[in-house]
Structure 1
Amino acid sequence: MTTAAPRRFEPVAPDPDPARRPLFVRIRRSTSVRDISAVYLFAALFVIFALWEPDTFLTLRTWQVLLDNQAIIGLVALGLVVSLSAGVVDLAVGSEAGFGGIVVAWLLARHGVPIPLAILLSLLAGALVGVVVALLIVRARIISLIATLAMSSILIAVIDWISGSQQILDLGQPFQKIATDELFGLAYPVYILALVALVVWYFLERTALGRRIRATGGNLEAARLAGVRTSRIIVTSTVACGVITAGAGVLASSQLATGDPTIAQSYLLPAFAAAFLGSTQFHGGRFNVAGTLLAVLVLAVGVTGLQLAGAPIWLPDLFNGIALLAAVGFAQFQKRPTTRTAAIRRILRPRDGLDQEAVTKPSAQARA
């Protein structure tokens, strides 16, 4: 009786340098529908609503309000991008934002905590939620979908308990100015979104930590074999997501001048739609910051245009739902067939100090 030889992974040739491709090839690829479909969608929506509602859609104030309103959703989407990049499908991002918003309102109105300290404690509360989510995934071995769904329900209960299911009022004019004061015609949350986006982009795209996060999200077991401490990466990602989304909730309470216990779920669907639609832009199926911000803008234009046209109140939710389905479907279509070796070797680099040979050669225990 003969035994089959152990399977060995063949080395994968590195991708050709994009800079060496002919100029027309690079232009064609960078402007293809496959890579920047959201740009073409934005142009189409802009033309449609500019012709449909020119008196309101084309005004400067409409676009200022659009950007101001979408800054908070953009922050929640960025937090989600961090967790999704690590392979954690965080269904609690909306509740985490609502939790951060209600905590800061509770500290300000009920306990008279100074504004800086209240904001800091709210961000720490978001980080604590991220730690709990990571422990459920890493230690309790619960898949992220179930762990975050349960955490979302728990946070909603905590929000109702803290607020008594009532709005928390009297947060003070200085706190309200954080999200309502303007600079060059745009509210401060827009600039905060730009700053957070720059930081997240830098860490995901320009650091070894970002490469480890993407490796973990690409294939957890292969990343572990390559020397990535995947448990720490998951903790880092969920904590970062918790802090960013809690900060979005703080800005939401400042914008509304109340701690509203009902806003949590209003951020969930738009954030997922933006993150998945953004993953189809620029990087071919990989979650990224630039694509997510573009997707937030596209979805905002669609929803705002429908509202200005007098659409029924339920139509924006329908629009976001269809956009999410289309984005996920397109993202799956864009994924090229690849082995775990190819995926991880393209992400990790020798200077990371990781054992890439572990990716191309099965371990002794696996061969046994």
Structure 2
Amino acid sequence: MSPPSSRRSLPGQRPGHGHFLGTYGLLALTVLLFLLFSVALPDTFPTRENVSSILSNQSIPAVLALGATITVASGKFDLSIGYGLGLAHVLVLYLIVEEGWPWPLACLVVVLGGTLAGAVNGVIVEFARIDSFIATLGTGSMMYAVTGWITDGGRIVPGPQGLPADFTGIYDAVFLGLPVPAFYVLGLVIVLWVVLERLPFGRYLYVIGSNPRAAEIIGIPTHRYCVYAFAASSTVVGFAGVLLAAQQQIGNPSVGLDYLLPAFVGALLGATAIKPGRANALGTLVAVAVLAVGLAGIGQLGAQFWATPLFNGATLLLAVGLAGYSARRRLRADAAVP
């Protein structure tokens, strides 16, 4: 991923149409898809109930994609996030149902555990010098083993009394007429936007992701900041696991892997919008919106079950291709400036 460009428009020069298309094209596509499905499905799609359903159902993929955005910004990929999500949601339910822990304490321990797991990933990648794909695939497999050990290969099912209402309410509640998880996503987007766009931490990550060698030369402690990136990403994954537990209310050891591909689709496709050429929180939010509207629309049109992985896979290929094209285009444009 490329760092923020230092290129500036000359006096009197206006950004070209390609600039606006690259920046806002994905947002325009979201609006276009919503309008098309609204015309095709006027009785079900453009309704408040459908919008609320989309916001609720896509909140966990959105949170996970935002977590993936942090490591993508540093030029790394954390393939353990799907396994981590599965472990986190199972562990929350295990502590509440099997061990009788108060649910706030269980949630806090799981989120902090996610931070620790991410830091371990970062140490392995940065200090053991193992490629992030290989390292996080290995640690992810170990997380999956721990998940199986906790559940003994089965499911964690609450007793007749069910789960605490306050715990399930962190997902089921409604605020200002909208599902509460939508506000979690919005809050996380704001936090990441500030951190990545306005604070030195984010700028350092972009430089590291663009050119780690140059980052070391100018004095950025690349190893430390990459460990921070992995830790921050896994903290978000732990929070997503808490939400998934409150949504599912049953511990399923294999459910986390279903979220891995959509998370990376959102993070990589988001790198082609708002700030083309680099991972950014607003772009990820727009990308998730495209996926959410598209999947909801084809689902209501009666698409078969295999349409969802087909849509996600095709969109991932498109995202990677567009991200690469956007980065090359930015490099060519910067090289052309005297």
2:61 is aligned to 73
Range with greater deviation from structure 2 (42-51 or 98-107): 42-51
Tell whether 2:246 aligns with 1:254. yes
Query: 1:352 corresponds to which residue?
Result: none
Question: TM-score normalised to the size of structure 2?
Answer: 0.91
Question: 1:98·1:246 contact (CA, 8 Å) conserved in 2?
Answer: no
Q: How far 1:55 moved relative to its partner?
A: 1.4
Alignment correspondent of 1:45: 33
Task: Give the Cα–Cα distance (whole angstroms) in 2 for the partners of residues 336 and 172 of structure 1.
Answer: 52
1:75-99 CA-to-partner distances (Å, cap 9, x unmatched) read 1001100011111111111111112
Report the counterpart of residue 360 of structure 1 in structure 2: none
Alignment counterpart, residue 150 of structure 2, candidates 150, 162, 175: 162
Which residue, 264, 268, 271 being the options, matches 1:276?
268
For 1:321 and 1:37, the matched residues in 2 are separated by: 20
Secondary structure of the corresponding residue to residue 103 of structure 1:
helix
Q: How does 1:27-42 map to 2 (within 5 A)?
A: 28=17, 31-32=20-21, 34-42=22-30
Task: Answer yes or no: is 1:184 the counterpart of 2:176.
Answer: yes
**Displacement of 1:213 after TM fit?**
1.0
1:318, CA displacement in angstroms?
0.3
**Which amino acid is 1:286 matched to?**
R
SS in 2 for 1:35: helix
Correspondence for 1:122:
110
Q: How does 1:137-216 map to 2 (within 5 A)?
A: 137-170=125-158, 171-216=163-208
For each residue in 1:1-23, what CA deviation from the matched residue of structure 2 results, as whole angstroms up to 9, or x when unmatched? xxxxxxxxxxxx952258x544x
Q: Which residue of 2 aligns with 1:356?
A: none
List gaps (5 residues or longer) in structure 2. none
Contact 1:130–1:239 (Cα < 8 Å) also in 2: yes
- Aligned pair 1:60/2:48, yes or no? yes
For 1:5, the equivalent position in structure 2 comes to none
2:179 alignment partner AA: A
Q: Shift of the alpha carbon at 1:265? A: 0.8
RMSD: 1.9
CA contact (8 A) 1:104 1:119 kept: yes
Aligned-pair CA distance for 1:31: 3.0
Q: Give the drift of 1:146.
A: 0.3
Asked if residue 105 in structure 1 is aligned to residue 93 in structure 2, the reply is yes
- 8 Å contact 1:49–1:305 — kept in the other structure? yes
| Rg (Cα) greater in structure | 1
1:130–1:242: 8 Å Cα contact kept in structure 2? yes
Q: Confirm whether residue 132 of structure 1 aligns to residue 120 of structure 2.
A: yes
User: How many residues in Structure 1 have an aligned counterpart in Structure 2?
Assistant: 325
In the alignment, structure 1 residue 217 sits paired with structure 2 residue 209? yes
Q: 1:157 to 1:330 in 2, by over 3 A?
A: same
Q: 1:21/1:168 Cα in 2 relative to 1: closer, same or farther (>3 Å)?
A: farther
Residue 331 and residue 338 in structure 1: after superposition, are their counterparts in 2 closer, same or farther (change >3 A)? closer
Consecutive unaligned residues of structure 1, counting only runs of 5 or more, are: 1-12, 344-368
Distance (Å, rounded) in 2 between the aligned partners of 1:63 and 1:227? 47
Task: Say if 2:55 and 2:181, in contact at 8 Å, map to a contact too.
Answer: no
In the alignment, the residues of structure 2 paired with residue 206 and residue 21 of structure 1 have an alpha-carbon distance, to the nearest angstrom, of 27
Alpha carbons of 1:338 and 1:189: their partners in 2 closer, same or farther (altered >3 Å)? Answer: closer
Query: Which residue identity is paired with 2:176?
Result: F
CA offset digits 1:133-171 (Å, max 9, x no partner): 112111211000100111121111111111122221223
Change (3 A) 1:331 1:164: same
In structure 2, relative to structure 1, the CA distance for the partners of 1:137 and 1:14 (3 Å cut) is: closer
C-alpha deviation, 1:172, in angstroms: 2.7
CA distance 1:160–1:176, change in 2 (3 Å):
same
Amino acid at match of 1:135: V
The one-letter amino acid paired with 2:198 is R
User: Residue 101 of structure 1 contacts residue 250 of structure 1 at CA under 8 Å; is this kept in 2?
Assistant: yes
